[in-house]
């Protein structure tokens, strides 16, 4: 019985460690995006895609995918991100990207607007958008 419980706990832990996601854009977006340019957009350092078109980032409210995106793409922790945006907001130099509650909401917004960029969990239905990066 102990072995079964240990096995189940291990599998649950492994699946959360492997939780990843994808960065998505509108299917018509042909901008060449690497993780550095994605990071600049999500940190408010750039308001444009590399091709010069406007870029509007969308965040997931919270959860494993959001944590993984912040860590892998932005190179920060959640607390560092909160401090980063608090400082920019306080000084009037920026505002955090809009946050949405679910993968479906982000996919719907990105698929309907060529200027949007977002990220969703790896298992989301992404038929209506284009993947530009995995994390």
pLDDT tens digits, residue range 8-38? 444 444 444 556 999 999 999 999 999 999 9
Question: What is the pTM assigned to this prediction?
Answer: 0.84
pLDDT of residue 14: 45
Block residue for tokens 């600049």: 40
Q: Which domains does the chain have, with CATH numbers?
A: 20-134 (3.40.190.10)
50 pLDDT above the threshold of 50: yes
pLDDT of residue 62: 86
60 pLDDT above the threshold of 50: yes
Please give the Cα distance from 65 to 103 (Å, whole number).
Answer: 10
Residue that wins the pLDDT comparison between 2 and 124:
124
């Amino acid at each position: 019985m102990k072995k079964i419980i240990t096995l189940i706990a291990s599998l649950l832990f492994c699946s959360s460690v492997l939780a990843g996601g994808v960065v998505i854009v509108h299917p018509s977006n042909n901008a060449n995006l690497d993780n550095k340019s994605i990071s600049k957009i999500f940190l408010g350092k750039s308001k444009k895609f590399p091709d010069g078109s406007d870029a509007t980032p969308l965040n997931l409210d919270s959860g494993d995918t959001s944590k993984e995106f912040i860590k892998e793409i932005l190179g920060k922790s959640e607390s560092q991100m909160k401090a980063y945006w608090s400082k920019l907001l306080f000084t009037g130099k920026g505002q955090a990207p809009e946050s949405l509650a679910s993968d479906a909401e982000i996919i719907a917004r990105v698929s309907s607007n060529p200027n949007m960029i977002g990220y969703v969990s790896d298992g989301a239905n992404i038929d209506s958008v284009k993947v530009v990066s995995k994390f």
